[in-house]
Amino acid sequence: MEPKEVEAFADRFFEREDIRQFQAPGAAVVVVRDGKVVLQKGYGYADIAKKTPVDPEKTVFRLGSIAKSVTATAVMQLVEAKKIDLHKDIQNYMGDIPINNAFDEPLTMHHLLTHTTGYDFTEPKLGDINGDLSKVTPLKEYVAKNMPTVIRNPGES
């Protein structure tokens, strides 16, 4: 498809009534083909009150659940490369960060991907989501400090 066709397709998509019903304030779209940007465009507002349009190069969005499919794809690529075993205890991949699991069943990557870890909590805590991008916590530090506890046998729920 030519860039103008891609843009027309995206424009039509965001004009659809079923999409408008979601009342999303804005979105950024980037389409890449063969390593080249075909379309990069913002739709709607980054700030409704100020009528600030979405800038696809500058507007920051929370990733939310879309990160799950990206993460699962990356994990499965590591499985294909034989760098991760889906059924091996994840403690093998955690370095010096201990997994709080008192059960005989080890916690595995399969449990993580299928949401059957048996963790006591699975949602971020209130203070976890911070709009101040200058206050970044390294992942290892965050995980060590916030490692959930396995309170149900992994794989059961």
CB 117, CB 100: distance < 8 Å: no
Residue 126 has pLDDT above 80, yes or no: no
* pLDDT digit string, tens, across residues 18-51: 999 988 899 999 999 999 999 999 999 999 999 9
Q: What local confidence, expressed as pLDDT, does residue 14 receive?
A: 95
Strand residues in the chain grouped as ranges (E): 26-33, 36-47, 52-53, 100-101, 149-150
The catalytic residues are 65
58 DSSP 8-state letter: T
Q: What local confidence, expressed as pLDDT, does residue 35 receive?
A: 92
